[in-house]
């Protein structure tokens, strides 16, 4: 690993490029990779590679130096050899200053990144492309292919069930539960489900009755908000989405989505009966 100043020479016409790096060998590999991908930051060097092929470029270490002196020494070579002159070389600037990764992180604060993201998401082009039927069909097809691959499916399930994922879900749930608006809506939902008739019906059972999971399941089946669901293709009626999902061999969410127009689940569609 060589730290210092390097020169790239085009052996076909003698033009040069001056640069500095704390790892010249690695930087040389990056130059070649960028040129092959037609993605080099110096358009002059890229055009030369397109015209002559990258095999004409030769690397030469001009001077080894300490990392904290790279910019200073590189500037001396730029001033001396003038590779920024289009008749002499391929450098796009006569200055050796560069923005480090840490400096870029400081420039792109979370607030600025969020602002840029919102600007892109709210743009007309983004909305038109991401709301189009073609885009949605493409994403859907890719997701289906990924899910059908046993290895990919196993990775996804392991990720969802990992300790880190569980911790994130737990933190999010706790944060939501502390929201006053969420508490109000949750309380109203519970009160709405327990009608006077249902309260009277439940009061007939002792508290010990609900300690049995089977008894709790029976009460869930009698919930006024429980909907039966039917498969349009087979005509089979299920007491719940969970029961249909178990029978078909998919997730409850897949069955729920298959009740919407144009959506299918293993080529099956469903509809609510009540």
Domain boundaries in the chain? 4-98, 99-131, 136-171, 229-272
pLDDT for residue 218 is more than 60:
yes
Q: What is the mean pLDDT of residues 156-175?
A: 83
**pLDDT at 11 (0 to 100):** 92
CA 185 to CA 117: how far, in whole Å?
A: 31
* Cα 143-243-172 angle, rounded to 5 deg: 55
Of 209 and 88, more confident: 88
- Report the candidate in 38, 46, 44 with the shortest Cα–Cα distance to residue 85: 44
Sheet holding 229-231, edge to edge: 237-238, 229-231, 270-272
List, in sequence order, the alpha helices (H) in the chain.
Answer: 24-36, 43-52, 70-81, 101-107, 110-121, 124-130, 133-148, 150-160, 163-177, 180-193, 196-202, 213-221, 241-248, 252-257
**pLDDT at 15 (0 to 100):** 93
Q: Which CATH architecture best describes the domain 4-98?
A: 3-Layer(aba) Sandwich (3.40)
Q: What is the pTM of this model?
A: 0.39
pLDDT for residue 155 is more than 60:
yes
Question: Phi then psi for 145, rounded to 5 degrees?
Answer: -65, -40
**Residue 212: pLDDT band by 50, 70, 90 thresholds?**
confident
**Residue 274: pLDDT band by 50, 70, 90 thresholds?**
low
């Amino acid at each position: 690993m060589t730290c210092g100043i390097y020169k790239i020479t085009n052996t076909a016409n003698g033009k040069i490029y001056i640069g500095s790096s704390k790892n010249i060998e690695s930087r040389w590999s990056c130059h070649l990779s960028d040129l092959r991908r037609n993605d080099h930051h110096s358009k002059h060097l890229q055009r030369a590679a397109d015209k002559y092929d990258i095999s004409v470029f030769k690397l030469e270490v001009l001077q080894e130096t300490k990392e904290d002196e790279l910019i200073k020494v590189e500037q001396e070579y730029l001033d001396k050899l003038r590779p920024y002159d289009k008749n002499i070389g391929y450098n796009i600037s006569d200055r050796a200053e560069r923005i480090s990764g840490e400096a870029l992180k400081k420039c792109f604060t979370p607030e600025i990144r969020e602002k840029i993201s919102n600007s892109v998401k709210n743009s007309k082009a983004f909305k038109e492309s991401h709301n189009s039927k073609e885009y949605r069909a493409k994403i859907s097809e890719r997701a289906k292919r990924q899910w059908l691959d046993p290895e990919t499916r196993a990775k996804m399930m392991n990720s969802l069930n990992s300790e880190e994922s569980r911790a994130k879900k737990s933190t999010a749930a706790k944060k939501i539960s502390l929201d006053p608006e969420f508490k109000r809506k949750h309380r109203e939902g519970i009160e709405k489900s327990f009608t006077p008739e249902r309260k009277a019906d439940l009061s007939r059972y002792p508290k010990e009755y609900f300690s049995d999971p089977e008894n709790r399941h029976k009460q869930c089946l009698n919930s006024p908000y429980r909907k039966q669901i039917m498969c349009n293709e087979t005509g089979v009626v299920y007491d719940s989405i969970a029961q249909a999902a178990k029978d078909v061999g998919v997730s409850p969410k897949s069955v729920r989505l298959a009740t919407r127009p144009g959506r299918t689940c293993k080529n099956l569609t469903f509809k609510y009966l009540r």
